[in-house]
Amino acid sequence: MEYNYIKALHLIFVVTWFAGLFYIVRLFVYHAEAKDKSQPEQDILMKQYQLMEYRLWYIITWPSAVLASIFAFWMLFFTEAGKIWLQMPWMHVKLFFVFLLYLYHLKCHQIFLQLQKNEIKHSSSFFRLWNEGATIILFAVVFLVILKSAINWIFGVIGIILFSVLLMIGFKLYKKIRERNEKNND
């Protein structure tokens, strides 16, 4: 019974953590694009994105990451079911992807700090591609947990990588069409 409550809380905070990661990178895209705007629009937008990023990062994303981790550790190390899961090979692969998620989160934090100082070191195209990192990790973890196989998750990850490539091709085509339309309107 206790295990199910801990698991439910873990899943709730994993969902909000991922929501924060997906949205923060979307804000990074907008923040990077705001740099190309003329004054005073640029200053207004950049200040607004900094505020939105700050609130999202410190009120939703970081607390969700911490709480998801606390409930995960509790579930794994202080319940009988968790101790059994820790012996399974698929769980080791899952924990590797969770480690990658922490690295992704920390890199997002580094970018967040740069943007809070208006240091824009990446393009909006980079951030659109960067956003796919969390998606790939999410797919891998979900397939591992559902299939409970250290091998079958590969098909899910290959699928999301192919889907990401198609999205990026679509993005490039959309960008070219948008630029052509803007050029024709001028």
Annotated binding-site residue? 175: no
How is 20-78 classified by DSSP, letter by letter? HHHHHHHHHHHHHHHTTSPTTHHHHHHHHHHHHHHHIIIIIIHHHHHHHHHHHHHHHHS
Annotated binding-site residue? 109: no
Residues 6+ apart with CB under 8 A from 42: 34, 35, 36
| CA angle 43–115–40, rounded 5-degree value | 5
Give the closest residue to 171 by CA, choosing from 132, 140, 122.
132
Q: Say whether the peptide bond before residue 63 is cis (omega within 30 degrees of 0).
A: no
Residue list for the binding site for heme: 10, 94
Bind-site residues: 10, 94
